[in-house]
Amino acid sequence: MRADSTTRDRLAGLPLGVCVGLLAGTAMLGGCAAGTAREAPQTTADADHDARMAWWREARFGMFIHWGLYAIPAGRWGDKDTYGEWIRDSAQIPLEQYATFARQFNPVKFDAEEWARLAKDAGMGYMVITTKHHDGFALFHSDVSEFDTASTPFGRDVMKELSQACAGQGLGMGWYYSIMDWNHPDYVPRRPWEKADRPADGAEFDRYVDYMKAQLNELLTRYGPIGVLWFDGQWEGTWTNERGRDLERFVRSRQPNVIINSRVGRAGGTYGIDLGAGRIGDYGTPEQFIPETPPGIDWETCMTMNGHWGYNAADKNFKSTTDLVRKLCDIASKDGNFLLNVGPTAEGLIPEESVVRLREIGTWMRTNGEAIRGTRGTALAAPSWGRVTHKRNADGSSRLYLHVFEWPANGRLVLGGLTNAPKGRPVVLGSQTTRAVAVRTKEGIVLEALGAMPADSAVGGVGVIALDLDGPIDPTSPPTIAHEGDLFLGGTTVEIGSDRVGVQVRYTLDGSEPTERSPVAAGPVPISASTTIKAACFREGERVSPVATRRLEAGVLRPADRADAGNLRPGLASAYMTGDFKVVPVFEGERVVLRGEAAKVGLGKPPTDDRYALELRGYLRVPKDGVYTLRLASDDGSRMWLGDDNLIDNDGLHSLQEKSAQVTLAAGLHRIRVAMFEATGGAEFRLSWSGPGVTTGEIPGEAFFHLPVAR
């Protein structure tokens, strides 16, 4: 295909692998939920995002490398051998003692070309390496730090050698960079265990940010085009979304086409990315887990082969090749990427256990890679026997790739959930003897006479069947019934529809099953009372989907506790406790160590940096009768009460997480109590709302009142 002038400008100077992926990806429709084709971008920002993500979506598989000074102790300190890249913090190694590892860093067996070839042969499309992890040591030559490879016996610039090797192999090059830095004197907070010996007096975080930008400028201007900037260590309280947006702008000012992960910000949201207009970064980064369902955004699971990111000589608990291949198939079937980690040794060698698995994955990919690279998921539920990916063929038909985890003993495979007719014979990839056939039955599409699993598929434990279908994929997915929340007051409307082609959506409002004689959804449907809505897709009078069901409740106004503020003071009454909490505690008596007032829901000024709990009490002024959505975000756990009712339970040990609830409130002042606890690490606490008469967002201080605090 020919690239227009805009595409040529974007391709100029990119690594070969990025260029090839971007050109191939311009024919793809990316970033949609549930595997359906995405509509044309509506804004320039959307178009820019899709353009820079195209090669990454094509790749689907990448190598993560955690390497640094922590490889020298190899996971052992004292009588424990369970440490990894966090060893300085976990083993509480003083800064001066840890710095001596730099004088020992001399990985004479490091071979950038060998690493790049291994990734390429494994079927990977890009590489991401730790240019600087939390310990602050730079694996490159930095003009603004002496804590780098230039100051070691090794002396070489790892990033220079790797970027050149990846370009030679056609791989995208990615930099991991930690926002957290345990070495820099201006990074705060300090580790709790080192505060006495390493106080933060005189530290200026803005000065640290300037240092960080200087290093990132080096990484973005000295090594050619960079495919990915993978941030981490963003969860501590000194980092904010505002700083993240500023850093994102800075990075794009150097390389506009670089892909940035969501951890450039505080990384809220279920999969590490906010889905609203204020989203930060290009994609979400779930760590060590695979989402159960497609998140509906660009995302990438990063995962270790064993139990550690950095090299640990004692950890031999490696995942099997079959497990890793199945994880790759599962991730691709949900429109995600798989970033699989290796932790090289202090000598510069990738552990043999990792090498063996990568070579075996490469054997599987040489036969089955077309079922991974450049594919999309589908709206089909994951079948019991495996997973499904797909591509569009040039003639407008669709090609399904059936990833078979459990090969049928009877040679008969059933694929349900589709209305399409099969086209031609299915093909078992890598097999020269198959005579498979595909027919439609009431069960779905049935594949028979599949033959045996090819020998190279046995390496990865997954055989793949390519099955062509007439036309675009037409899954039997139910329609959507769209309404914000399940409550309404007075009257409301719902939107009932489907993005499937050539179907009518019919619905009922009395809880009965829709038929071909039910009303057709054509615009907003008015609702005036509590209702069970059911809807289904029909084609030529036949139902071609399951029934979607939604229950909407007509709410009853919750009366206000007070009509006006009277003798109340602005803000909220606050109470702090200290201790090792795993759930929100009960605030009572002598356990409370500090009482005061707070302007709004937030952390305030806790008595310690970690291991405390906070309770806020008072009244929330509601401006109008109506349905309100309240959202409570915290790191760690939190809870919110209206009156005596626990409206939101966001409790337990977790990173930044938001939960919400809807409630119908009468105008006036409502008694409110909000509590949280902080264990260690990042800390955040906020309460937001949306509803009639309010600006959607964090609840401002002028909405809160409380009784005077008895001191």
If pLDDT is split at 50, 70 and 90, which confidence band does 422 have?
A: very high
Averaged confidence pLDDT in the chain: 89
Same domain? For 313 and 165 the reply is yes
Same domain? For 201 and 341 the reply is yes
Q: Is the pLDDT of residue 401 over 50?
A: yes
From 54-58, 252-256, 654-658, the region with the lowest mean pLDDT = 654-658
The last residue of one of the domains, among 312, 341, 371, is 371
β-pair type (336-342, 61-65): parallel
Q: Which domain holds residue 107?
A: 59-371
If pLDDT is split at 50, 70 and 90, which confidence band does 442 have?
A: confident
The last residue of one of the domains, among 371, 402, 435, is 371
Same domain? For 274 and 240 the reply is yes
- Count other Cβ atoms within 10 Å, centred on residue 171: 29
Distance, CA of 389 to CA of 370 (rounded, Å): 10
Does the bond joining 519 to the residue before it have cis omega, within 30 degrees of 0? Answer: no
Q: Is the pLDDT of residue 38 over 50?
A: no
Q: Is the pLDDT of residue 131 over 70?
A: yes
Task: Tell me what pLDDT residue 4 has.
Answer: 31
pLDDT digits (tens, 9 = 90+) for 578-596: 999 999 999 877 788 999 9
Same domain? For 447 and 493 the reply is no
The last residue of one of the domains, among 496, 525, 554, is 554
State the angle between helix axes of 112-121 and 158-169 in degrees (0 to 180), rounded to the nearest 10: 40
β-pair type (492-497, 480-482): antiparallel
| Most confident region among 264-278, 279-293, 538-552 by mean pLDDT | 538-552
Per the domain annotation, does 104 fall within a domain?
Answer: yes
CB 58 within 8 A of CB 295: no
If pLDDT is split at 50, 70 and 90, which confidence band does 432 have?
A: low
Does the bond joining 330 to the residue before it have cis omega, within 30 degrees of 0? Answer: no
Task: Tell me what pLDDT residue 441 has.
Answer: 84
CA distances in angstroms from 665 to 135, 628, 630, 644, 674, listed in the order given: 50, 7, 11, 15, 17
Same domain? For 495 and 458 the reply is no
Same domain? For 624 and 496 the reply is no
CATH number of the domain at 435, please.
2.60.40
Same domain? For 161 and 262 the reply is yes
Task: Tell me what pLDDT residue 491 has.
Answer: 93
Per the domain annotation, does 474 fall within a domain?
Answer: no
If pLDDT is split at 50, 70 and 90, which confidence band does 19 have?
A: very low
Nearest CA-CA partner of 35 in 381, 501, 527: 381
Same domain? For 631 and 545 the reply is no
Per the domain annotation, does 24 fall within a domain?
Answer: no
Q: For the chain, how many structural domains are there in total?
A: 4
Same domain? For 333 and 395 the reply is no
Place of tokens 């790892």: 158
Task: Tell me what pLDDT residue 268 has.
Answer: 56
Q: For residues 449-460, give the mean pLDDT.
A: 72
Same domain? For 365 and 218 the reply is yes
Per the domain annotation, does 607 fall within a domain?
Answer: yes
Q: Is the pLDDT of residue 23 over 50?
A: no
pLDDT digits (tens, 9 = 90+) for 695-710: 889 999 999 999 986 6
Per the domain annotation, does 304 fall within a domain?
Answer: yes
From 26-30, 159-163, 298-302, 687-691, the region with the lowest mean pLDDT = 26-30
Per the domain annotation, does 397 fall within a domain?
Answer: yes
Task: Tell me what pLDDT residue 440 has.
Answer: 86
Same domain? For 550 and 586 the reply is no
Q: Is the pLDDT of residue 20 over 60?
A: no
Burial class, 170, CB count within 10 angstroms (exposed 0-12 / middle 13-18 / buried 19+): middle
CATH number of the domain at 576, please.
2.60.120.1560
Per the domain annotation, does 20 fall within a domain?
Answer: no
Place of tokens 């090792």: 580
Q: For residues 204-228, give the mean pLDDT.
A: 98
Q: Is the pLDDT of residue 451 over 50?
A: yes
From 4-8, 186-190, 455-459, the region with the lowest mean pLDDT = 4-8
Same domain? For 220 and 74 the reply is yes
pLDDT digits (tens, 9 = 90+) for 596-620: 999 999 999 899 888 999 999 999 9
If pLDDT is split at 50, 70 and 90, which confidence band does 1 have?
A: very low
Per the domain annotation, does 266 fall within a domain?
Answer: yes
